[in-house]
Structure 1
Amino acid sequence: MSSRVTILYCTQCQWLLRASWMAQELLSTFGQELGEVALIPGTGGVFRIAVDGEQIWDRKEQDGFPEITVLKQLVRDRVSPDRDLGHSDRKA
């Protein structure tokens, strides 16, 4: 079964570009594992990412936006735990 990622972003903060870039990165990396990446407009400084309804990132709780490598690891852990992400899995 394919997974669904949702990215709830603040339109007041103009975070559509950031949300769509993250969606593009996830679809490029997990094209076979993801059935959908939905961009959901919101307000009030919100930026939350969920996989199959389980929240994996909240900008307010984590005090910022995820690095793309961290986001890919969080998504991978839910949709394809055994998958090697190559350079994204290597520590700096």
Structure 2
Amino acid sequence: MRACRPASRLEIEYCTPCRWLLRAGWTAQELLTTFTTELGEVALIPGTGGVFDVRLDGETVWSRKMQDGFPELAELKRRVRDRIAPDRDLGHSDRR
């Protein structure tokens, strides 16, 4: 039996002048669909300067500037899974 732990908060900060709201919303939808019980909330945070950062409980999971591009969804799901549900099988997303 697994110990009950509080659901995580995921933040997606996206660049509004770059018009990345749809990308941020789609990413949030995909992560909420995959991690239905592990994510307690997802926040979309407007930003500027080409930002597209994904943070989980305050820790950066993906930064467009640091990783030099947008995340592939399968890679992002693996990174989130490794932090909040390491035993979970992601099916086809686990195949690299």
TM range (shorter): over 0.9
Structure 1 vs Structure 2 CA RMSD? 0.5
Query: Normalization by structure 2: what TM-score?
Result: 0.93
* 1:90 Cα offset (Å): 1.4
Tell me, which stretches of 5 or more residues in structure 1 are unaligned?
none
- Residue 9 in structure 1 maps to residue 14 in structure 2: yes
- Percent identity, aligned pairs only, is 69
Aligned to 2:95: 90
1:34 corresponds to:
39
Tell me how far 1:56 sits from its aligned partner.
0.9
AA in 2 matched with 1:4? R
* Match in the other structure for 1:67: 72
If you compute each CA radius of gyration, which structure gives the higher value, 1 or 2? 2
So what's the TM-score if we normalise by structure 1? 0.97
Structure 2: tracts of 5 or more residues without a match: 1-5
| Number of aligned positions between the proteins | 91
Runs of 4+ in 1 over 2 A off after TM superposition: none
